[in-house]
Structure formats: structure tokens, C-alpha cells
């Protein structure tokens, strides 16, 4: 086995909402977008061992060793108040772990009898494409795991060669689109979206795009023009691609973005109807 | 006598009971005038303190607790007592069964088993279209719910995928009736994913069927079996004379000494006492009442004494384990700690060994031994968790849950059940449930079911009630006998507040008066 390791922010061993069947979901730390409504903003950054979290922890459950770049977490005293996550200036977390391909394989082996497959998510999982390639290969050549399906949940913000490096091992990609216009995209995420739009087209062309999700944010991406462009994009994708309209929800978003408003029922209906009128089969969640 | 008069008066004037329910309660009071079958004073004391519980079977057993008629044989031969000739088509078969059902005895007065209905009706379905079958079955289902209004009435389908099983699931989803309770026998080789998916979608709507591990269960019986009442698996053409359960919590509370003393002294002492009660009740039914000589079902071979045994049940394992752990200075809890789980398995294996080494009369169906059953609880169980389950609301994640309980499922030839809980999001992904079902069976589970949060149906333990029926019952009585048990369970067991929905019950109704 290789020495490669990935930063894993969490593993959910049974998820019924991350693709078909019961799935194990692995969340990778670090993201190359910074969405205003991110529900897991502590998965955006990487830890720089500044130690602020340890200082503020009300139960002194964290010890940060700057020199050796190590964090000790006392599970017994931690009350999961999440103060450390809220205070982190890097939008990171003291809890993610370095794991090897071997570590992840043994996690999957524990639950293999109960799952249809695995889903990798983030953060932005494609930032660790090199690790994924090894990980997916290990699954597909493993006699007890080769029947598992592999789904990738991504923001799409990577170049084509990254997709090429893993596409043969992956059963499907689920991509989020935050906005069509690059300017609006930049407002919502801090970055432009050329790579994302290219990724959507490329994965569609390769027959591997499973889902395209559009998150509706009032006053940002719900204008007639924006929805029209999203509709055009969706219309040109294969009918096998599941198109989903997601209502932005404020649950878990950072304090500085609480002024965002969730779409009203009317706003959702308006966007839904506009997309449906373009002849697109749409799921709203 | 004054006491009896008072109890009768209470029943007669209770406006929450309908005529049939009153008659049932009056019969219970009449039965209670008889002396209890002959057991030791020690056992009588344990019975009166509910250390040993006879589940309100009554003091003079005049019918077996669980009767599983050989409906296939009845359909083939006809029933002379009821002047029924063998049916020749689908309509006649349904009519035949409808009549026969109403003559099957039980503790509640309604048959606990209506047969493996798809297998029974398939031979009559050849000429019929899917739509015709659906229409006829739908009326049949309405008859069952209206005329056998008891949630312990149980019907089986599977394991093969077939037109009747599918129609039954479709009808269940449409009618949303409490009755009949339903089990799908699942066999990896024989049951298609398509049928299992239909079943799962039905679970989403009406919290049934239960899913039974067909191969595992079938291997415990010499002939055919049925899943009846609250997850009891028993032989067809026979059943169980009685079910007596031991309260493991109570015997642990009064136990003086360590774990080894409990396993070597207290446990065997009470197990033998429970078996004494089982033996005495069985003898009374067979020798004094002569049920198996006089009832038409036995006379016509639809049931046979040789296909009967009795059932040894228990409940409160979780409390038993937790107390023993605590007394041993360890704050480990059942379902959450490996050492506690292992102690649970050890206790159950010991009980099973004791049950298997005692020869009982008239228990030929299991070679003279009682069937071992993890009893899923009744409404009076306030402090005890059902059978070997993990306490309500305290269940770990699904994998840990399965890992904790699966190892002892193989012990229970008389049936066991666990309930897994999901929130509503799973409805968009039935395949996820298929994955869990298949995985759980691979790990050796025998039977289980699912509850969904916010479902219109609440599974009290093994049986279902509608949320609305509970409310109505409290206000004005209910057509379903089981609504009363459920109302008591809800009041007693904090059911509305839990992740889980269960706590089984049965025969308390009559004993309240």
C-alpha cells in the first residue's frame, strides 16, 4: 500500500441521502470555494496549528502541539459545543484526521454487507484526486468490495485532467452549480465558474454525470435571466442526468452570512416553473 | 361473589366497550372463578407478583394460546363441522377462509394466524386477471379488518414473488388498515428484489410487513411454519398451548449475590418455576378440558396435538444485564458495551439450555421442549424493556444495533423481533432499506421491522395502531381491541417521546375488570 494520506473530516457509515441505496460517505477536508451558505464551513480550510481553538475551549479538551503539528482531543471531557469550529479563523477544524487508503478500506470492510456503495464528498474531494485514484482502484480490485458503486460529490471546480485520472473507476458524479453567470458565482462562492461549467459539460459527454444540483439563493441567483441560463444548461444535458433544485437553507451557516434569506414557497415555485417550462424534469428538495 | 358481581357490573356499564368486547370480558371474569392449574405456592406467588407472567391467559385455559390451522389441508378436504365443501374457485376459497377464520380460537377471541395467504390462494388464481384478483382481495381485506378487529391477527406472504403477494402489498398501501398484521417471508434465493422493494414501499405507508428470515426460521420446524401475533414463529397445523414469560428484571432486582450466583442459582430456579407453570397449564388444557379431543379443528385434523408445543418467553433482558453490571461495579449498558452485550448473550444461552433440557408433556412439535421466545412486551411493562431488545430511545446506530442483537437471534425458534428506526428521508431511497435487510440477514438476524418517524401508524411492540385510533379510544372507545392495549402502553411507556415505537401487549383488557 502507498504512503499517501488524505485529510478526512468525517465518515458516515449509513447514509440514505447520498445516492442510491444505503451508502458509506467519506468527507474530505478543504475546499476551493467559499460559499456564503456553506453548512459545513469547518471543512473549508486546513489547520495551521495556531492554537486559538485550544485556548477558547471551555472544557480544555484540546491540546495543540505546534511544533509537531499534532492535536490531541479529549473525547471524555468534550461536550461537543462546537466553540472551536465557530472560532477557527481558517474555517477549519481540530478534528479531521489523516487517513491512508488502507485505513479507509478497513472502515468499508466493517459495513460492506449493508451498503450499495460509497460516496466521497467534502470539502472538495477532487482536490485530492491523486489519493482518490489509489483509493478507488483499491476498492475495485478488492474481492469483497468490487461490487460497490462509487459516487463522487463535487463542486466541479477542477481541470479536466483531474476527472480523467479517476473517471474509469467512478459510477457517477454529482455536481453542484451555484450560479451560471461568473459574476454572481463569484459573489456567492468567492470564485468564478468557468472550470465548473466545463466540468459539467465534460462529465455529461462522458456519460458519468449523475446529478446536477442548483441551489436557489434569493437576491443572488433567482433572476429570470439567471434561471433561464441554468435551464438552457440543464436542457442540453442528457435526460439521464437527474436535475435538482435545492432550496438554500440557513441551518448551520456562518454568523456573518445570517442576513441571507431562504427562498419563500413562491420563489421556489417561480424558479421551478421556469425550469419546468423549458421542458426539464426537475426534482425539488 | 360480591367481587364478581361488581366486576361484571363494571363491564356491563362501561360505555367504551362494544357488545362483543363486553362478552369477551365477561367470559374472562367467569373463567377467573376457577382455581389456577396446580402449581407450587412459590410459583403462585411469582405469578401474583408478576415475576412470572401468564399474559392474562386466564386461570382455566380452555383453548390454546396460538392456533395455526393447516388451512391448506382444510381447503383441500373441506370442513365437515362447518358444512364447508372444498372450494373450487377464488371466490369460494375466500368465502371458505372467511368463515373458517371466525371459528379459530385464541386468547383475544380472534385468530392470530390467517395463513400464508398467497400460497393458499394461488391455486385458485389461474384464470383471473390481476385486476380481478386485486378487487376480490380488497374486499377480503376489508372483511378481515372489520370482522377480526384485532391487531394480533396476522397473515403471511412469500417467499416467492407472485401476483397475490403483490396485490396484498398494493391493497395494504391503499387501505391503510391496522388489521391484518403482515409478515413477508424473505429468502435470498426465492424472493425477488422487486417484491422486496414493494414490501419496503409498503412499510413506508403502513409500517408493515415485518421481514422474516425464511431459511433460518424454516430450519427450526419439521413442517411449514407461520409468523403469528407479535412475531411468534410456530408450526402450521399446530401452535402453542400457552406462553409464559419470565421477568428478568424482577428476578435480578431481588437477586442477592454476584453474576455467577445469578446464572447458577437464581436464573435456573425461576426458569424451572416458569416451566412448571407452562406444564400445569398445558396439562389442564389437554387433560382436564380435553381441548384436542373435542374441538372440531383437532377432530378434523386441521390442527394436531403432535404439532403443538408451549412457549417459554422472557422480557427485561436489558435491565437484567444493566443491574448485574452495576452490582459488579461496572457502568456498562446493554446495547452499548461489548462486555454487557456478551453477558446478555450468556444469560440467554443459559436460559435456552435450561429450557431445552426440560421435557414437557404434549410438546411433541419441538421434541418435548418449549419453543424459546423473546417476548415483545405488553402495556403493563413500565420498567422492563421488551424481550431482548435495547431500551426505547437508547438504541445505538444501526450497525451497532445489529451487531449487538444479531448473535442471539439464532436461539429463538419461537421468534424474536427488533425494530429499526428511520426518519422520513429514507422514503426517497427504498433501496437503502433493501441493503439493510440483506445485511442484517447475513449477520444472522431472524426477524425485524422498521418504524418511520411521523408515520400515521405506531408500532407498539409487535402490533400496530393508528395514532388517531389512540386519541379516539381515549375519548370514546375503539372498534379495535388492541387500541386499549396501545392506549395503556402509550400512557405507560413514553412511546410518543421515543425514537422507537413499540412495547407489545395482548390480553390485559379483560383482566382489568
Reported as a pLDDT band with limits 50, 70 and 90, residue B502 is very low
Q: Is residue A156 part of a domain?
A: yes
Q: Is residue A193 part of a domain?
A: yes
In whole angstroms, what is the distance from residue B77 CA to residue B293 CA? 19
Chain-chain contact of A14 with B398 (C-beta, under 8 angstroms)? yes
Does A172 share its domain with A232?
yes
In whole angstroms, what is the distance from residue A153 CA to residue A173 CA? 6
Which residue, chain included where needed, has cell 382455581? B35
CA distance A174 to chain B (A): 16
Q: Is residue A205 part of a domain?
A: yes
Which chain A residues touch B443 with a CB distance below 8 Å? 113
Does A275 share its domain with A149?
yes
B296 touches chain A (CB under 8 A): no
CA distance A62 to chain B (A): 26
Which chain A residues touch B439 with a CB distance below 8 Å? 22, 111, 113-115
Does A260 share its domain with A183?
yes
Does A161 share its domain with A273?
yes
**Chain A, nearest residue to B437 by Cα:** A114
Nearest to B435 among A17, A110, A114 (CB): A114
Domain boundary among A87, A113, A144: A87
Number of domains composing chain A: 2
Q: How far is CA B508 from CA A108, B23, B50, B461, B485, in A?
A: 47, 15, 13, 15, 7
Cis peptide bond N-terminal to A176, omega within 30: no
| CATH number of A255's domain | 3.20.20.70
Q: Is residue A236 part of a domain?
A: yes
Q: Is residue A56 part of a domain?
A: yes
ipTM over the 0.90 cut-off = no
Q: Is residue A97 part of a domain?
A: no
Query: Taken in order B379, B492, B27, B52, is the CA torsion positive or negative?
Result: positive
Chain-chain contact of A116 with B435 (C-beta, under 8 angstroms)? yes
Nearest to A17 among B398, B425, B434 (CB): B425
Q: What is the pLDDT of residues B238-249, one digit of tens each?
A: 999 999 999 999
Which of the 8 DSSP states describes residue B334?
T
pLDDT at B252 over 90: yes
Provide the terminal-to-terminal Cα distance of chain A, rounded to the nearest Å: 41
pLDDT at B505 over 70: no
Chain-chain contact of B435 with A21 (C-beta, under 8 angstroms)? yes
Q: Is residue A96 part of a domain?
A: no
Which of the 8 DSSP states describes residue B35?
P
Q: What is the pLDDT of residue B15?
A: 87
Q: What is the pLDDT of residues B339-372, one digit of tens each?
A: 999 999 999 999 999 999 999 999 999 999 999 9
B448 touches chain A (CB under 8 A): no
Does A147 share its domain with A74?
no
Q: What are phi and psi of A129, to 5 degrees?
A: -60, -35
In whole angstroms, what is the distance from residue B483 CA to residue B502 CA? 13
CB B98 within 8 A of CB B67: no
Does A155 share its domain with A176?
yes
Q: Which helix (H) or strand (E) holds B310?
A: strand B308-315
Does A79 share its domain with A118?
no
Q: What is the pLDDT of residue B145?
A: 93
Q: What is the pLDDT of residues B292-304, one digit of tens each?
A: 999 999 999 999 9
Does A68 share its domain with A108?
no
CA distance A89 to chain B (A): 33
Does A36 share its domain with A149?
yes
B426 touches chain A (CB under 8 A): yes
Does A28 share its domain with A61?
no
Nearest to A21 among B402, B431, B440 (CB): B431
Blockwise average pLDDT, block size 10, chain A, 285 residues = 86 93 97 94 95 96 94 93 93 95 97 97 95 97 97 97 97 97 97 98 98 96 96 97 95 89 96 96 93
Does A20 share its domain with A77?
no
Q: What is the pLDDT of residue B476?
A: 53
Q: What is the pLDDT of residue B492?
A: 45
Q: Is residue A183 part of a domain?
A: yes
Which B-chain residues 391-420 have CB contacts (< 8 A) with chain A? Answer: 397-399, 402
pLDDT at B217 over 60: yes
HSE (side-chain half, CA atoms, 13 Å) at B298: 18
Burial B230-268 (b: 16+ CB within 10 A, else e): bbbbbbbbbbbbbbbbbbbbbbbeebeeebeebbeebbb
Reported as a pLDDT band with limits 50, 70 and 90, residue B381 is confident
Q: How many CB atoms lie within 10 A of CB A236?
A: 10
Q: What is the pLDDT of residue B392?
A: 80
Give chain A's length.
285
Chain A interface test: which of B432, B433, B450, B452 (most A C-beta within 10 Å): B432
Does A75 share its domain with A145?
no
B203 touches chain A (CB under 8 A): no
Task: Provide the residue range defining the domain that includes A64.
Answer: 52-87
Amino acid at each position: 500500500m502507498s504512503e499517501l494520506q488524505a485529510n478526512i473530516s468525517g465518515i458516515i457509515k449509513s447514509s440514505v441521502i447520498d445516492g442510491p441505496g444505503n451508502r458509506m460517505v467519506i468527507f474530505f477536508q478543504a475546499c476551493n470555494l467559499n460559499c456564503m451558505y456553506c453548512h459545513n464551513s469547518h471543512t473549508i480550510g486546513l489547520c495551521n496549528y495556531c492554537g486559538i481553538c485550544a485556548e477558547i475551549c471551555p472544557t480544555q479538551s484540546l491540546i495543540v502541539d505546534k511544533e509537531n503539528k499534532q492535536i490531541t482531543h479529549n473525547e471524555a471531557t468534550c461536550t461537543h459545543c462546537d466553540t472551536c469550529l465557530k472560532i477557527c479563523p481558517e474555517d477549519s477544524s481540530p478534528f479531521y484526521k489523516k487517513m491512508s487508503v488502507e485505513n479507509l478500506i478497513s472502515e468499508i470492510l466493517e459495513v460492506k454487507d449493508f451498503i450499495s456503495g460509497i460516496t466521497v464528498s467534502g470539502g472538495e474531494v477532487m482536490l485530492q484526486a491523486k489519493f482518490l485514484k489509489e483509493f478507488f482502484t483499491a476498492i475495485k480490485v478488492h474481492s469483497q468490495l468490487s461490487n460497490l458503486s462509487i459516487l463522487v460529490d463535487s463542486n466541479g471546480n477542477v481541470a479536466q485532467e483531474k476527472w480523467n485520472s479517476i473517471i474509469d473507476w467512478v459510477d457517477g458524479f454529482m455536481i453542484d452549480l451555484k450560479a451560471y453567470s461568473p459574476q454572481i458565482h463569484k459573489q456567492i462562492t468567492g470564485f468564478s465558474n468557468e472550470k465548473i461549467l466545463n466540468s459539467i459539460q465534460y462529465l455529461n459527454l462522458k456519460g458519468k454525470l449523475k446529478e446536477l444540483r442548483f441551489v436557489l439563493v434569493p437576491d443572488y441567483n433567482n433572476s429570470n435571466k439567471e434561471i433561464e441560463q441554468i435551464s438552457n444548461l440543464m436542457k442540453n444535458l442528457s435526460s439521464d442526468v437527474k436535475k435538482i433544485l435545492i432550496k438554500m437553507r440557513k441551518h448551520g451557516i456562518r454568523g456573518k452570512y445570517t442576513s441571507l434569506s431562504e427562498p419563500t414557497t413562491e420563489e421556489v415555485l417561480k424558479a421551478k416553473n421556469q425550469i419546468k417550462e423549458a421542458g426539464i424534469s426537475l426534482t425539488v428538495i | 361473589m360480591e367481587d364478581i358481581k361488581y366486576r361484571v357490573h363494571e363491564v356491563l356499564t362501561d360505555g367504551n366497550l362494544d357488545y362483543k368486547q363486553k362478552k369477551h370480558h365477561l367470559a374472562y371474569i367467569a373463567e377467573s372463578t376457577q382455581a389456577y392449574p396446580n402449581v407450587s405456592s412459590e410459583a403462585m406467588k411469582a405469578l401474583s407478583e408478576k415475576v412470572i407472567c401468564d399474559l392474562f391467559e386466564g386461570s382455566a385455559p380452555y383453548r390454546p394460546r396460538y392456533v395455526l390451522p393447516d388451512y391448506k389441508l382444510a381447503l383441500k378436504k373441506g370442513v365437515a363441522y362447518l358444512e364447508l365443501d372444498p372450494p373450487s374457485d377464488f371466490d369460494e376459497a375466500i368465502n371458505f377462509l372467511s368463515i373458517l377464520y371466525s371459528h379459530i380460537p385464541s386468547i383475544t377471541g380472534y385468530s392470530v394466524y390467517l395463513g400464508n395467504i398467497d400460497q393458499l390462494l394461488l391455486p385458485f388464481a389461474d384464470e383471473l386477471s390481476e385486476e380481478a384478483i386485486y378487487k376480490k382481495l380488497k374486499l377480503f381485506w376489508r372483511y378481515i379488518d372489520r370482522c377480526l378487529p384485532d391487531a394480533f391477527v396476522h397473515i403471511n406472504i412469500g417467499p416467492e414473488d407472485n401476483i397475490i403477494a403483490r396485490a396484498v402489498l398494493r391493497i395494504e398501501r391503499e387501505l391503510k388498515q391496522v388489521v391484518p398484521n403482515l409478515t413477508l417471508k424473505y429468502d435470498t434465493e426465492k424472493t425477488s428484489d422487486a417484491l422486496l422493494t414493494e414490501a419496503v414501499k409498503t412499510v413506508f405507508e403502513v409500517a408493515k410487513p415485518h421481514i422474516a428470515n425464511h431459511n433460518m426460521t424454516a430450519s427450526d420446524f419439521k413442517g411449514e411454519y407461520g409468523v403469528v401475533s407479535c412475531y411468534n414463529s410456530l408450526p402450521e397445523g399446530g401452535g402453542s398451548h400457552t406462553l409464559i414469560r419470565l421477568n428478568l428484571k424482577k428476578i435480578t432486582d431481588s437477586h442477592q449475590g454476584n453474576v455467577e450466583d445469578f446464572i447458577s442459582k437464581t436464573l435456573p430456579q425461576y426458569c424451572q418455576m416458569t416451566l412448571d407453570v407452562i406444564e400445569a397449564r398445558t396439562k389442564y388444557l389437554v387433560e382436564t378440558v380435553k381441548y384436542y379431543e373435542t374441538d372440531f379443528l383437532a377432530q378434523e385434523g386441521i390442527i394436531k396435538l403432535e404439532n403443538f408445543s408451549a412457549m417459554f418467553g422472557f422480557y427485561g433482558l436489558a435491565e437484567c444485564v444493566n443491574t448485574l453490571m452495576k452490582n459488579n461495579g461496572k457502568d456498562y449498558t446493554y446495547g452499548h458495551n461489548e462486555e454487557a452485550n456478551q453477558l446478555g448473550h450468556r444469560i440467554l444461552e443459559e436460559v435456552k439450555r435450561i429450557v431445552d433440557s426440560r421435557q414437557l408433556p404434549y410438546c411433541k412439535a419441538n421434541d418435548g421442549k418449549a419453543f424459546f421466545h423473546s417476548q415483545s412486551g405488553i402495556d403493563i411493562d413500565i420498567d422492563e424493556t421488551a424481550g431482548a431488545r435495547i431500551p426505547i430511545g437508547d438504541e445505538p446506530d444501526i450497525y451497532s444495533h445489529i451487531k449487538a442483537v444479531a448473535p442471539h437471534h439464532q436461539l429463538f425458534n419461537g421468534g424474536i423481533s427488533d425494530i429499526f428506526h428511520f426518519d422520513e428521508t429514507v422514503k426517497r431511497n427504498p433501496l437503502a432499506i433493501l441493503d439493510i435487510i440483506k445485511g442484517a440477514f447475513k449477520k444472522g438476524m431472524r426477524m425485524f421491522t422498521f418504524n418511520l418517524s411521523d408515520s400515521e401508524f405506531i408500532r407498539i411492540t409487535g402490533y400496530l395502531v393508528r395514532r388517531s385510533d389512540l386519541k379516539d379510544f381515549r375519548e370514546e372507545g375503539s372498534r379495535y381491541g388492541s387500541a386499549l392495549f396501545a392506549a395503556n402502553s402509550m400512557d405507560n411507556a413514553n412511546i410518543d417521546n421515543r425514537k422507537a415505537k413499540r412495547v407489545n401487549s395482548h390480553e390485559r383488557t379483560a383482566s382489568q375488570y
